[in-house]
Each structure stands twice: as C-alpha cells, then as structure tokens.
Structure 1
C-alpha cells in the first residue's frame, strides 16, 4: 500500500510460536469464506516467504492441517491451538499472517478484501491475491 516495510512481531496465544514479518504498517488483509477460514474467522495478510522468520525453537510447537488439494498448510500451535500464520493455497510462495496475531503497535491500517473461498477457482482468477507474495509488491 505504498508504505515502507517495517518489522512486525507476533505469534500464538501461549507465546510458544513467535515470528517476525517484514511488511508495511498499512496492510491489505483477506477475509475468506472457505470452510476453514470462516470457522476460524481468520483475516490475514500475505507476504513473500523471504519476509517471514519463525523464531528459534518455535517449530517444535507447530503442527499442520491440510484438506482438499492439500496445497495450503494450516499451521497451528500444538499447545494453544492458534493459527498465527499459514501457507496459503493461493500463494504457495508466501505466508499468510493472521492480523489479530500481530503484536499491538505496528499495524496502523488494515484494508480488508473479501475472498470467495467457497468458489475458490473463480475467486482466484478474479482477484489479485497471488501478487501479494511477490517481493516487488510488498
């Protein structure tokens, strides 16, 4: 959204899974109505994988759930169950970061866009979501 990137920190509820992500202070987040995102009310922004860093030791607390095409990797903390980030089907070269799991103070604006995950293929074709994991977009 035109801002210079800054470092955001965040993680899960119990703080066993911690990470940092480089992204603007104003982000475009996606609210999806697929069966998984809608049940979790997961609104997320997408960054290139190279801009996401998992904290040392956090991986031991992660587990992964997949369904459907098994392309998306829904990671969550084994202890508290929170999905603070995952690897989306729409952006296999990126990371989807849950907005509400970013520590307070660094995100100043969220533009929410809607993704029709119930009609995934047509929504993918009509949206610009795949561009958000490209390094030159962020």
Structure 2
C-alpha cells in the first residue's frame, strides 16, 4: 500500500498481524519515537511501540478476530490476533486515550527513522512521573 503525506513529518502507515486477519492504519511521524518497555509482559514479548492518539488510529479489519489480555491493574489492554497471536497494537496503561503501535507490524516503506527510548516498566509508578510518554497520545 502507498502512503499519503499529510504534513511534512507525518504519513499514513498501514500494518497488521502476521496472518493478515487484523489490518490497521495510523497517522504518525515518518521518524518514530519508540518505547522499549521492560515491564513483566513487555519484556517477555520484547514489546517496542510508539504512541498515537486514538483519533489517529483506524482499525481497517479484524475486530472480530481480536482478543484482549489484561493483568495486575487491568488498565493496559493487550490486544492480539486470535489466529496468529501477534499484538500489532494495544492500549497502554500510560496512555488509555491512545494506542501503542508495534513498528515492526507496519508495512515497509513509510518509516524513515526509529529512535528508541527505554521505559522502566518494572518501576512504572516512579518512571511515569519523569517520562513524556503520556503526552504522546495528546492531539
């Protein structure tokens, strides 16, 4: 799929799960700021994600093929494909007004650069106070 330029640094990225049952599009920068979280689930999944407001995310297909896993505070909604098990996006605890999108689930050709930042999810309550992650889901 081709990208559509909306401004000098944002584009429409498309992506989805491994089997193709879940597809989405997201309006986000061409230079992604990706968080590498070390909380108990993100560490095991090697979850890296960038944050967007809900208004910039569109599920194109597969809503009926999604299932959600929650644990602990039950605030994060770890959404994944029922068929292949891939989590291409989810609702993070830090950003209930947005989505965490897995950059490795985007179709190739629309990302120019990725900057990674560690997020100390093992010490979530302390780290959230000094991180800018919450601002990422604001318009």
TM score, norm. by length of structure 2: 0.93
Q: Residues 61-106 of structure 1, C-alpha deviation per residue, up to 9 Å, x if partnerless?
A: 1000001110000000000000000000000000000010011110
Matches within 5 A, 1:17-32: 17-32=22-37
From 26, 43, 51, give the equivalent of 1:46: 51
Matching of residue 70 in structure 1 with residue 74 in structure 2: yes
> SS state of the match for residue 58, structure 2?
strand
Cα distance in structure 1, aligned partners of 2:57 and 2:22: 13
Matching of residue 100 in structure 1 with residue 101 in structure 2: no
Q: Which residue in the other structure is 1:9 paired with?
A: 14
Q: Which runs of 4+ in 1 moved over 3 A?
A: none
The answer to whether the 8 A contact 2:9-2:31 is kept is no
From 57, 60, 70, give the equivalent of 1:55: 60
> SS state of the match for residue 15, structure 1?
coil
Q: Which runs of 5+ in 1 are unaligned?
A: none
Cα distance in structure 2, aligned partners of 1:94 and 1:3: 22
The answer to whether the 8 A contact 1:3-1:26 is kept is no
Q: How many residues align?
A: 133
Q: Which runs of 5+ in 2 are unaligned?
A: 1-6
Using the TM superposition, give the Cα deviation of residue 42 of structure 1 relative to its aligned residue in structure 2, in angstroms. 1.0
Q: Which residue in the other structure is 1:80 paired with?
A: 84
Q: Which residue in the other structure is 1:129 paired with?
A: 133
Would you tell me which structure has more strand in proportion to its own residues? 2
Alpha-carbon spacing, 1:113–1:3, altered in 2? closer, same or farther (3 Å)? farther
